[in-house]
Amino acid sequence: MSVDHYTYRVTWSPEDGEYVGLCAELPSLSWLAGKPEQALSGIRRVAAEAVADMRSNGETVPEPLAEKHYSGEFRVRIPPLVHRALALEAKEQGVSLNRLASAKLAG
C-alpha cells in the first residue's frame, strides 16, 4: 500500500487566504501554501510522514479509497414520512424505490 494511492484534494481557503491540501484517508491532516502545487506536495509529504509514524507505532494505516471494494449497497435510515413519500413518488413514476433513490443520489 502506497500513500501515492490516497485521495488528495486542493482547494482555496478564504479564511487562510491560501490553498489547502487535504487527504480523504487522513482527514485530520492539511497543508497550507500560496500555490496549489505547493499545497499538493505538502499534503503528500505530511501524509507519507503520518503513515510512516503510524507503521512504526503499530497502528492501523488507512486503506486508500481507490483500492477498496464497494458492493454498491448501503443502508440509509430516514423518517417514516420521507420513506412513504419516496415510495409514493416511485410508484407514480413506475420505478422501484431503489431506482428512484439511486437516481436522486446520483443527481
CA-CA distance, 58 to 7, in Å (whole number)?
23
pLDDT of amino acid 18: 98
pLDDT, residue 1, reads 67
pLDDT at 107: 86
* Angle value at C-alpha 38, between 33 and 40, nearest 5 degrees: 105
Q: Give the per-residue pLDDT at 8.
A: 98
Boundaries of every domain in the chain: 3-66, 70-106
- Spatial distance between the Cα atoms of 9 and 30, rounded to a whole number of angstroms: 10
Q: Walk along the chain (107 residues) in steps of 10 and give the mean pLDDT of each run.
A: 92 98 98 98 98 97 93 93 96 95 93
Q: Does domain 3-66 have CATH number 2.60.40?
A: no
Spatial contact of 62 and 47, defined as CB atoms under 8 Å apart: no
Q: What is the pLDDT, as a whole number, of residue 2?
A: 82
Taking the C-alpha atoms of residue 12 and residue 24, their distance in angstroms, rounded to an integer, is 16
Q: CA torsion angle for 62, 65, 70, 73 (degrees, to 10)?
A: 90
Cβ-contact 100, 106 below 8 angstroms: no
